[in-house]
Amino acid sequence: MAETSERRSSPCGEDLALVRGVLGGDRSRLDLLAERLCCIPRILQVLNLRGGRQLGPEELDDLAQDVLVVAWRKLNEYEGLASLEGWAYGISVLEYQNAVRRRRRLLQEAQVIARRGERLDDAAHDPDPWAFEDVHEGLLRIGRDEARIIRLKHFEGRTFEEIASALELSPNTVKARYYRGIEELRPLLGARCGPTLGPLLEDEA
Amino acid sequence: MSVHGPQHEERLASLLSGERDAADPDCARWLAECAPCRERWTALRGTCERLEQAAAERRAHLAELRSVKSAPGEERIAAALRRLAEEEPPAQARSVQRIDRGSRRWLLAFAAAAVLAGVWIAARFRDRAPVPERTWLGSERLRLIAPVGDVHSFERFEWSYDGAATSYTLRVFEARGAEPGARLIEKERLKETTWTPAAEDLAKLPRSIVWEVEALDDYRVVQASGRESASLSR
């Protein structure tokens, strides 16, 4: 029975077993986990390429180590609801954003000094590498249960029934929490997600 | 014209979960008649659409991973993980209990209140009050290097931290045995992991001191802290 429950509550059961093994002190599984967590530098590389190579190789190297430390400390929070790569992606995105912000701030400070306090207007020329930063940060600011359901629904593509089964909740509870979560998220995403939908509604109405 | 009420909230929830179809004539009529519902439905759909766009980007990034052969830092992952497992055992990681966000907000508010209270108390009893027993955070990552134990001078304070700190706070106390007594020096917003006392600072220091360092992040939240004692050898 326990096995059934385990299987039901963790769609990525093998990944969860790996993590639990390592957390339980099984050093023999550490290499396997390291192999899987090699996705962290790769994710950072992909993010950096998509974001216009804002960080250099050395910065990426250092950042990969930082993200690994964060992931290690959060390992006990891994629930097996997404693959290890999907889970590491969430951490990597936020850490990459922070690193880019830190780098920008340093550059701006250096430019201010170089221009002797001239006002900077770089924002207008700066490409927006993080079109969905508000989504990832918004999900951190709403209720944890609601965010988890939203992530499973949209990021993992699971149905409400699958989510209910994974979280051992009733489908109605999952739907209610999903609704509440979207309502909480709505003001956090602000103006970026409203105006384009007018015509859609008009079509429907 | 229908009046917006709790039933409408339920309908919106069922519309969002897909139980109802907005194209259904009954739904279309309801949305046409209830302006608040119409606005909310537009906004809710906008939020979902944005989530879908973010999800599509995430999928694209994860799919792209397959074509990445290697990346900077990859070769260090295994060694770093082994080091982490040794320095920061999983049992220690497990002891960090998960806290839901609601409780976290309360904890943050409590922490902020505690910090304010601490600042007030420190201002009142500056240089006088003994420092209370403290819980050291992340001390396994923050290492106080010098001065430690018997030393010839206090001319250089040095520590190392392998996390991401924006600044450090250094405090030096008069030693009362192994415990700190009156605070003699406090240096905030240090950017480096070393500090060289000026002559007037050195003049304040007795033969035995206790010193502590806090590593802080962008928001001035303490990430790690550590304490050591040192004495001038005779």
Query: What are the percentages of helix, strand and coil residues in chain B, rounded to 5?
Result: 45, 25, 30
Exposed e or buried b per residue across B80-112, where buried means at least 16 C-beta atoms within 10 angstroms of its C-beta: bbeebbeebebeebeeeeeeebeeeeeeeeeee
**Closest Cβ opposite residue A77 in set B76, B82, B98:** B98
For residues B133 and A154, the model is more confident at A154
Distance CA A98, CA A96 (A): 5
pLDDT digits (tens, 9 = 90+) for A95-139: 998 888 888 887 777 776 666 555 444 444 444 445 677 888 888
Show which of residues 90-149 on chain A sit within 8 Å of chain B, judged by CB atoms: 98, 102, 131-132, 135-136, 141-145
Strands (DSSP E) contained in chain B are 142-146, 149-151, 157-161, 167-176, 179-190, 194-195, 208-216, 222-232
Q: Considering CB atoms only, which of A24, A141, A179 is closest to B13?
A: A179
A150 contacts on B by Cβ (under 8 Å): 51
- In sign, the C-alpha dihedral spanning A71, A74, A79, A82 is negative
Query: Which candidate from B12, B46, B74 shows the least CB-CB separation from A194?
Result: B46
Residue type, position B231, single letter: S
Q: Where do the domains of chain B lie, and which CATH numbers do they carry?
A: 6-125 (no CATH), 142-232 (2.60.40.10)
Question: What's the pLDDT band for A191 if we cut at 50, 70, 90?
Answer: low
Single pTM value for the model: 0.57
Question: What type of residue sits at position A5?
Answer: S
pLDDT value, residue B222? 75
Give me the interface pTM, i.e. the ipTM: 0.73
Q: Which residue has the tokens 């609704």?
A: A179
pLDDT score, position A113: 65
Q: Which residues in chain A are closer than 8 Å to B97, comparing Cβ atoms?
A: none
Query: How many whole angstroms separate alpha carbon B120 and alpha carbon B230?
Result: 29
Is the peptide bond between B147 and the residue preceding it cis, with omega within 30 degrees of 0? yes
Q: Which residues of A touch B83 (CB under 8 A)?
A: none
Q: How far, in Å, CA of A160 to CA of A176, rounded?
A: 11
Residue A187 scores a pLDDT above 60: yes
Q: How far is B77 from chain A (nearest CA, A)?
A: 6
Between CA A118 and CA B188 the distance in angstroms is 28
- Is B170 an 8 Å CB contact of chain A? no
Average pLDDT, chain A: 79
A139-178 residues touching B, CB cutoff 8 A: 141-145, 150, 154-155, 157, 160, 175-176, 178
Asked whether the beta carbons of residue A68 and residue B58 sit closer than 8 angstroms, the reply is: no
Residue A21 tokens read as 């093994």
User: Where is pLDDT greater, at A204 or A33?
Assistant: A33
Residue A4: pLDDT above 70? no
Q: Is the pLDDT of residue A60 over 70?
A: yes
Q: Do B16 and A27 touch (CB under 8 A)?
A: no
Q: CB of A143 within 8 A of CB of B100?
A: yes
Count other C-beta atoms under 10 Å from residue B57's C-beta: 15
Asked whether the beta carbons of residue B28 and residue A57 sit closer than 8 angstroms, the reply is no
Mutate to test the interface with A, among B11, B14, B51 (most CBs of A within 10 A): B51
The vertex-B161 CA angle with B157 and B162, nearest 5°, equals 155
Count the Cβ atoms, other than its own, within 10 Å of residue A186: 20
pLDDT at residue A35, rounded to an integer: 92
Per-residue pLDDT of chain B in tens (234 residues, 90 and over written 9)? 456 777 888 889 999 999 888 888 999 999 999 999 999 999 999 999 999 998 998 888 888 888 888 888 889 999 999 888 888 765 444 444 444 444 556 667 777 787 787 777 766 655 554 444 454 555 558 889 999 999 998 999 999 988 888 888 899 999 887 788 888 898 888 888 999 998 888 988 999 999 999 888 776 677 888 889 999 986
Q: So what's the pLDDT on residue B101?
A: 45
Residue A94 has pLDDT above 50, yes or no: yes
pLDDT for the residue numbered B8: 86
Measured between alpha carbons, how far is A77 from A71 in angstroms, rounded to an integer?
A: 9
Instruction: Give the closest of B17, B22, B162 to A175, CB-based.
Output: B17
DSSP string, B126-167: TTTSPPPP-PPPSTTTEEEEES-EEES--S-EEEEE-S--SE
pLDDT at A151: 92
Contact B175, B205 (CB under 8 A): no
Per-residue tokens: B20: 């109802």
Question: By C-alpha distance, which of A63, A31, A97, A82 is closest to B71?
Answer: A63
Residue B229, strand partner residues: B210
| Model pLDDT, residue B122 | 66
CA distance B211 to A182: 49
